[in-house]
Amino acid sequence: METLLVLSYAAICIFIFKVFRIPLNKWTVPTAVLGGIVLVGALVLFMNYNHPHTSLGGEYFVSTPIMPNVRGKVIEVPVTPNTPLQEGDILFKIDPTPFQAEVDRLEAQLAETRQNVLGQEASYKAAMATRIKAQAERDRTYQQYQRYATGYKRGAFTKADVDNREQFYRSAEAALEAAQADERRAKLAYESNINGENTAVAQIQAQLVNARFNLDSTVVRAPTKGFVTQVLLRPGMMAVPLPLRPVMTFINTDDEAIVGAFRQNSLLRLKPGYEADIIFRAIPGKTFKAEIMEVLPAIGEGQAQAQGTLIGTDMLMRQGRPLVRFKMIDDLSEYNLPLGANMEIAVYSDHAHHLAVMRKILIRMKSWQNFLYLDH
């Protein structure tokens, strides 16, 4: 950019010398050179500080590695690469046969378990009836024992008759205790539940939910709005749920952002709401309006994590740049730029307004420079 200023100043000097026919001597030439150094240098310094510029700009996007939740053979890949997708669109399918079989098995087991619960209910009611019968028998034998014990005192019954009725009563008491234990056992088996559901049934239902989830996972769908590119997955390949083996990459189009990395010297002239001009190497000769959304509150080069080594001076020597996020004002849809395109950004602060004109001229001159390159 300084080169453009020098060349512009040189062109102005040549024009002045030619038009006004100023002679080239030891006074005029050094004066023009020294004046240019002072003038251009002062303008560059004030402009760079008050209206920052960076060539480290670009558009970033979030990509999602697609990994299946289940392991299986791929049977279909209906997705078309580089085609816009909506959330829920099918990316690929895995053979559902073993997962459908597991769902069918658990559904049958659930039906059987529900029948068993009905049987447990019948057993509980039968045990309750047995306990009621044993309790009635106990009460009857107890009354007989009391009657014989009273009659014995009056001489109506013998000691043997009283002992015999007492044994009948003790036997009925033991039978009642056994019936009560059977009733409690049947009640625990029937009434044990979680949130009103029998525990055995709830356990099978939980397994069935997991099996149905695995069955649904055989159809892998788009997580958000976006597209996939470079699809290499083919039917017959094995898809496995391993973190290091994604089968395709999904590009999220809802998370695009334009970011520029500026010198730390310019932080006081970078505030949300400031206008900016953006030029793309892919679109020479044009500038686009943008606006600062935020200055990210952290610089990546200064991050530290808990680990077994101490922080050294090497981290402090890193010269990181603050990142600034921008919002595009002009429409770029007609240019079909690929995500991740590089750009240069010029910001216009509220200070030194007269120098903003020079920055605008220079950023447009740099945009025209993008027509020139020597790759061949």
Is the domain of 106 the same as that of 5?
A: no
> CA torsion sign, 365 to 366 to 371 to 376?
positive
Answer for the pair 333, 46: CB distance below 8 angstroms, yes or no.
no
Residues 155 and 223 in one domain: no
Predicted pLDDT at 194: 56
One domain, residues 24 and 162: no
Overall number of domains in the chain:
4
Q: Are residues 188 and 323 in the same domain?
A: no
**pLDDT of 184:** 73
Task: Indicate if 367 and 260 belong to the same structural domain.
Answer: yes
CA torsion angle 321 322 327 332 (round to 10): 10
The pLDDT value given to residue 130: 77
Give the residue numbers spanning the domain of 59.
Answer: 53-63+249-303+311-376
C-beta neighbour count of 278 within 10 angstroms: 25
Residues 79 and 154 in one domain: no
CATH code, 294:
2.40.30.170
- 353 and 260: one domain? yes
Nearest to 78 by CA among 67, 88, 90: 90
| pLDDT at residue number 29 | 67
Same domain, 287 and 328: yes
Q: What is the C-alpha to C-alpha distance for residues 168 and 147, in angstroms, rounded to an integer?
A: 13
Q: What is the pLDDT of residue 211?
A: 93
- Look at residues 169, 196, 213 and tell me which one is the last residue of a structural domain: 213
Are 296 and 149 found together in one domain? no
pLDDT of residue 307: 81
CATH number at residue 78: 2.40.50.100
Per-residue pLDDT, 249: 92
Could you tell me if 254 and 369 lie in one domain?
A: yes
Residues 255 and 375 in one domain: yes
Q: What distance in Å separates the CA atoms of residue 58 and residue 338, rounded to the nearest whole number?
A: 11
Whether the full predicted model's pTM is greater than 0.85, yes or no, is no
Assess whether 46 and 57 both reside in one domain: no
Q: Which residues of the chain have pLDDT under 50?
A: none
